[in-house]
Amino acid sequence: MAIRRKKPRLLRRDFVPNSAIMRTPHSANLTHQRLQRYGWEILPHPAHSPDLAPSDFHLFGPLKCHLVGMAFETEGDLVG
* Coil vs helix vs strand at 18: coil
Give the HSE-up count for residue 44: Cα atoms under 13 Å, Cβ half-sphere. Answer: 1
Cβ atoms of 66 and 73 closer than 8 Å: no
> Mean pLDDT, 10 residues at a time, over the chain (80 residues)?
66 58 64 82 73 70 84 83
Give the three-class secondary structure for 53. Answer: coil
What is the pLDDT, as a whole number, of residue 31? Answer: 79
Sign of the CA dihedral running 14, 19, 20, 21: positive
pLDDT on residue 60: 79
- pTM listed for this prediction: 0.31
